[in-house]
A and B are shown apart, each in its own frame.
Chain A
Amino acid sequence: MSASTLQPAPQTPPALALVGQGVVRTDGHAKVTGQALYVDDVRPEGCLYGATIRSTVAHARVTRLALHPDDAAAGVVLVTAADIPGENVVALMTDDQPALASAYTKHVAEAVALVAAPNREQALAAAQRAVVEYDVLPALFDPEVSRGHEIRLFGADNVFSHLTIRHGDATGAFANPPAGSRVVEGVYRCGHQEQLYIETQGMIATPRPGGGLTLFGSMQCPYYVHKALKRVLGHTDFNVVQAVTGGGFGGKEEYPSLVAIHAALLALKTGRPVKLIYRRDEDLRATTKRHPMRARYRTLVDAGTGRLLAAEAELLFDGGAYNTLSPVVNSRGAIHALGPYRCDHAVIDALMVATHTPPNGAFRGFGAPQAHWSAERHIDRIARVLGLDPLAVRRTNMYRDGDRTPTGQVLRDVGIGIVLERALERAEKPLPPRLAATRPGGGGPAARLVPSRGLALAWHGCGFTGNGEAALKGKADVALEGRDVVIYIASTDIGQGPETIFPQIVAETLGLPLARVRNAPHDTAQVPDSGPTVASRTTMVVGGVAQKAARKLRDALAAEVGFDGDFDRMLAARKSTANLRVQAEYTDDGSLVWDPKTYQGDAYPAFGWACVIVDLDVDADTGEVFYRRLVQATDVGRAINPVLCSGQLEGGALQALGFATSEELVLDAQHGMRNNRLTNYIIPTALDAPEMETVLVEIPFAGGPFGAKGIGEIPHDVPHAAVAQAIERATGAVLDRLPMTPERVLAALDTAAEPSA
């Protein structure tokens, strides 16, 4: 079957001056010269240092809370919930999380109180030796028994979210299996994963000369911080400014609201600027992680081809102690649960429950990497059970134009076939012999290394789910200021490139050189609410709004000068020197239909498609996996900046390889992270990483600027599944649980059948 029979060939997009060019990132010079100012590089005059007193038990009433007498005598300032002028809440989806758990704590490492002192060491020491006494309560750690448990954490039944997607008639299909069909069942698990931005969480709160506060710090979403602070302070006399931010990956979506609240409370009480920077061990122990998952899949398949006839997928996620954004993770996990494969009769049941574990939250992929793990491992299981080639089973089932997803969405411009063919073209043929013996860190000449290759397929919905974008109406302003054009957006650069991509889009639209277009600082006093920097939506959705605003600016200028032409000619004809600022907001054509009650309809305006091929060696003696080469072909719609675009995809893929084999959270008796250091929470280094080849496939999305789709999350969706397939192909070891640490690989090798290839 050739790609052309499956897919429309991607159109060759017209060559443009800036869009599609790998221009050097506009913030690059500051970053390579050390001039870029991250939050900890800034020290306001008279700045105090904050630190957080954290609970040491999972569930307790706090019976006593006081500074050590020496610290109290030395003038260290203590802030508790009693100092909160407004509500003691971190406003997000629900109001269940307190800003300070001064009376009652629901997870270890929860912020109980705060201190401020003239220097960092003194603040940390005071937080460390503060007196906190507890009346310890029984804790609930097992998500399997959380729903309806007598120990109550959330609502009436400990359920943050429960949803069921019904498509066709799965019950009927299982009840009347056709001749030649077979039932295949499997259980799949993922552990926690830490985002591990290299810059820890940090915020500075500074009292403004004229009253109010300025919050300056590391964050993805200035307006989340704004929304949360408003409730805690009881007013809006403050502004939130993003510092240059050292990575986020979702970890700086909702968590910085808490850090900002804490810094603000300390600044209010002391009347001084307060800087609050997390230590690495503290950051790892206290902040949100990727949700652990357990999934059960039961499918009815055609025994000859592996075609999916019916499926029941049941997903269980551990949300931790507070709701955070867990319902959205549950939703995205459910929608992506069957992978990019057609199944006409399906029931997907996704449950997100509470436990007394530090809350899990946003992380690149939002449940989709866990769901894809299950889907891809299950396809491999079907192939194994039926004695079929895993790739053939994928080809049999993968979506084609006109197919319906489990939510009933009819797919158009399906790119899965073409990304598969493009990735296969770039994979080395045949798989070269082992390399790892000579590789630094490899097992040496005597190592028994088994080379192998694995392949996995992904789809990823871009932007918010369903009517999310239409309801939010993200805004962007574009202004003529002198001869330059300034873009006002709340979307932040956390490394992925909007400081460059937005000017590229707007400059291209107006026919200006890049040097004359820039983003304004991401300060809530200056920029409108564009929505959060999440969900693979920044370029595709907010970029589109910025493009619309640029067109409005051109129209406004044309109206002012009385003719429409070259931007600079219009500018030369302009009499006024006043700034000219216009705003646009997100609208769509209303063709997307979505029912959040039944989870039926058009889940996303566009899907990205990806194929990942991983070449690796398995060390048969140690269970270690050595990565050689990773090819990914991804449908990006249109790469506004191919260098930034492929950089995102490569970084996401390596994050997934860490999830695959090395990143494991070890929990202590209170369910706090025990290996909360970079010494023992192991992310990949340059030596662990494979050489990567990244193929950008461009199937344009009419709703995105110049055809662009979101690409931030899809690279994290399936590399881990490709690794599992490669290990199985090489050794027969079947791994259905992440991470696939050397210990688990060895255990699986012990029980493995004869190698299948």
Chain B
Amino acid sequence: MKIEFTLNERPVRVDVAPMARLLDVLREDLRVTGTKEGCGEGECGACTVLVDGRAVNACLIPAIQLRGAQVQTVEGLARSERLHPIQQAFLEHGGAQCGICTPGFLMAAAELLHREPHPSRAQVREALAGNLCRCTGYQKIVDAVAEALS
């Protein structure tokens, strides 16, 4: 099935099975691999991307839902050489360690900051509760998100 949608502000066209996972469309068909797979069942959030501005697990979204959608991945966060404030904050606060969960956290955080530019720490923790990190204990991730736009 041919599907057209917008990926990081560029039109793309893929020919995939209707129930192909968005995660595989990105990684395998389009070879855009910044979005990671951690569990394949919507528990870990490593594959979090934005679809029409909302954070979703790309492993749970079938391709058929993408028609005409605006999809944003970690590759679309930076503006040419200029990092998005949340990327910069992750670097400065030490929010990334092994980095495999980082793209998912960045997308979940980007959605939160769009909604709520100055979130409380409790709001940050709640917004990121769908993303698992095993390296950081979350402290530096919460620091980064809470202070990204301050």
Distance (whole angstroms) from the CB of B139 to the closest CB of chain A: 5
The tally of residues in A whose CB lies under 8 Å from a CB in B reads: 61
Contact with A along B102-136 (1 / 0, CB 8 A): 11001000000000000001101110111111111
How far apart are the CA atoms of A630 and B122 in the complex, in Å?
Answer: 16
Q: Count chain A CB atoms within 10 A of each CB in B37, B90, B125, B134 and give the residue with the most.
A: B134
How far apart are the CA atoms of A200 and B146 in the complex, in Å?
Answer: 30
- Assess the B97–A34 pair: CB atoms within 8 A: no
- Assess the A38–B39 pair: CB atoms within 8 A: no
Asked if B35 is an interface residue, CB under 8 A from chain A, the answer is yes
- Assess the B135–A647 pair: CB atoms within 8 A: yes
How far apart are the CA atoms of A25 and B132 in the complex, in Å?
Answer: 21
Asked if B62 is an interface residue, CB under 8 A from chain A, the answer is no
Closest A-chain residue to B102, C-beta based? A31
- Assess the B91–A29 pair: CB atoms within 8 A: yes
Asked if B100 is an interface residue, CB under 8 A from chain A, the answer is yes
- Assess the A24–B134 pair: CB atoms within 8 A: no
How far apart are the CA atoms of A654 and B136 in the complex, in Å?
Answer: 8
Asked if A653 is an interface residue, CB under 8 A from chain B, the answer is yes
A647-693 interface (Cβ within 8 A of B) = 647-648, 650-655, 677-679, 683, 685-687, 689, 691-692
Asked if B75 is an interface residue, CB under 8 A from chain A, the answer is yes
- Assess the A198–B94 pair: CB atoms within 8 A: no
User: If the complex has contacts A496-B97, A647-B136, A650-B139, are A677 and B128 also in contact, measured as CB distance less than 8 A?
Assistant: no
- Assess the B41–A678 pair: CB atoms within 8 A: yes
For chain A, what secondary structure do more than half of its interface residues adopt (helix, strand, loop), or is it mixed?
Answer: loop
How far apart are the CA atoms of A280 and B99 in the complex, in Å?
Answer: 18
Asked if B48 is an interface residue, CB under 8 A from chain A, the answer is no
User: If the complex has contacts A198-B46, A653-B137, A654-B137, are A22 and B98 also in contact, measured as CB distance less than 8 A?
Assistant: no
Chain A positions within 8 Å of B34 at CB level = 33-35
B8-60 interface (Cβ within 8 A of A) = 27, 31, 33-41, 43-44, 46
Asked if A27 is an interface residue, CB under 8 A from chain B, the answer is yes
How far apart are the CA atoms of A29 and B87 in the complex, in Å?
Answer: 8
Contact with B along A189-206 (1 / 0, CB 8 A): 000000111111000000
Interface residues on B, range: 35 or more
Binds B, one of A244-252, A558-566, A748-756: A244-252
- Assess the A678–B106 pair: CB atoms within 8 A: no
Partner of B101, one of A43, A198, A279: A198
Distance (whole angstroms) from the CB of B49 to the closest CB of chain A: 11
Asked if B77 is an interface residue, CB under 8 A from chain A, the answer is yes
A33-53 interface (Cβ within 8 A of B) = 33-38, 40-41, 43
How far apart are the CA atoms of A562 and B64 in the complex, in Å?
Answer: 71
Chain A positions within 8 Å of B71 at CB level = none
Distance (whole angstroms) from the CB of A712 to the closest CB of chain B: 11
How far apart are the CA atoms of A40 and B134 in the complex, in Å?
Answer: 19
Closest B-chain residue to A280, C-beta based? B39
Closest B-chain residue to A30, C-beta based? B99
Distance (whole angstroms) from the CB of B117 to the closest CB of chain A: 19
Partner of A32, one of B90, B132, B135: B90
How far apart are the CA atoms of A678 and B39 in the complex, in Å?
Answer: 7
Closest B-chain residue to A685, C-beta based? B129
Distance (whole angstroms) from the CB of B137 to the closest CB of chain A: 4
Chain B positions within 8 Å of A556 at CB level = none
How far apart are the CA atoms of A245 and B75 in the complex, in Å?
Answer: 19
Partner of A198, one of B33, B40, B134, B137: B134
Asked if A28 is an interface residue, CB under 8 A from chain B, the answer is yes
Chain B positions within 8 Å of A686 at CB level = 124-125, 128-129, 131, 133, 138, 141-142
Asked if A620 is an interface residue, CB under 8 A from chain B, the answer is no
Chain A positions within 8 Å of B128 at CB level = 685-686
How far apart are the CA atoms of A644 and B46 in the complex, in Å?
Answer: 22
Chain A positions within 8 Å of B134 at CB level = 195-198, 247, 249, 651, 655, 683
Distance (whole angstroms) from the CB of B33 to the closest CB of chain A: 4
Chain A positions within 8 Å of B121 at CB level = 691
Contact with A along B55-74 (1 / 0, CB 8 A): 00000000000000000011
Distance (whole angstroms) from the CB of B18 to the closest CB of chain A: 15
- Assess the A33–B138 pair: CB atoms within 8 A: no
How far apart are the CA atoms of A33 and B87 in the complex, in Å?
Answer: 8
Partner of A27, one of B99, B126, B135: B99
Closest A-chain residue to B108, C-beta based? A686
Chain B positions within 8 Å of A108 at CB level = none
Asked if A439 is an interface residue, CB under 8 A from chain B, the answer is yes
Closest A-chain residue to B136, C-beta based? A651
- Assess the B140–A650 pair: CB atoms within 8 A: yes
Distance (whole angstroms) from the CB of B52 to the closest CB of chain A: 20
Asked if A495 is an interface residue, CB under 8 A from chain B, the answer is yes
Chain B positions within 8 Å of A280 at CB level = 38-41
Distance (whole angstroms) from the CB of B85 to the closest CB of chain A: 11
- Assess the A32–B96 pair: CB atoms within 8 A: yes
- Assess the B96–A679 pair: CB atoms within 8 A: no
Asked if A112 is an interface residue, CB under 8 A from chain B, the answer is no
- Assess the A33–B83 pair: CB atoms within 8 A: yes
How far apart are the CA atoms of A249 and B132 in the complex, in Å?
Answer: 15
How far apart are the CA atoms of A248 and B98 in the complex, in Å?
Answer: 9
Asked if A590 is an interface residue, CB under 8 A from chain B, the answer is no
- Assess the A198–B97 pair: CB atoms within 8 A: no
User: If the complex has contacts A32-B106, A494-B98, are A689 and B137 also in contact, measured as CB distance less than 8 A?
Assistant: yes
Asked if A210 is an interface residue, CB under 8 A from chain B, the answer is no
Contact with B along A368-409 (1 / 0, CB 8 A): 000000000000000000000000000000000000000000
Distance (whole angstroms) from the CB of A526 to the closest CB of chain B: 22
Distance (whole angstroms) from the CB of A662 to the closest CB of chain B: 12
Closest B-chain residue to A656, C-beta based? B137
- Assess the B98–A440 pair: CB atoms within 8 A: no
User: If the complex has contacts A31-B102, A246-B100, A651-B97, are A679 and B90 also in contact, measured as CB distance less than 8 A?
Assistant: no
Asked if A746 is an interface residue, CB under 8 A from chain B, the answer is no
Asked if A643 is an interface residue, CB under 8 A from chain B, the answer is yes
- Assess the B98–A689 pair: CB atoms within 8 A: no
Give the interface of B toward A (CB within 8 A).
Answer: 27, 31, 33-41, 43-44, 46, 73-75, 77-78, 83, 87, 90-94, 96-103, 106, 121-122, 124-126, 128-142
Q: A34-B34, A497-B97 are in contact. List 8 more A-B contacts (CB 8 A).
A: A34-B33, A40-B27, A246-B101, A651-B135, A655-B137, A686-B129, A686-B131, A689-B125
Could you pull out 23 A-B pairs where Cβ atoms are within 8 angstroms? Answer: A25-B94, A31-B99, A31-B102, A32-B96, A32-B106, A34-B35, A196-B134, A197-B134, A198-B36, A198-B98, A199-B38, A246-B36, A247-B100, A280-B39, A643-B93, A650-B136, A653-B137, A686-B125, A686-B131, A686-B133, A687-B125, A689-B125, A689-B139
Give the interface of A toward B (CB within 8 A).
Answer: 22, 24-25, 27-38, 40-41, 43, 195-200, 244-249, 279-280, 439-441, 494-497, 643-644, 646-648, 650-655, 677-679, 683, 685-687, 689, 691-692, 694
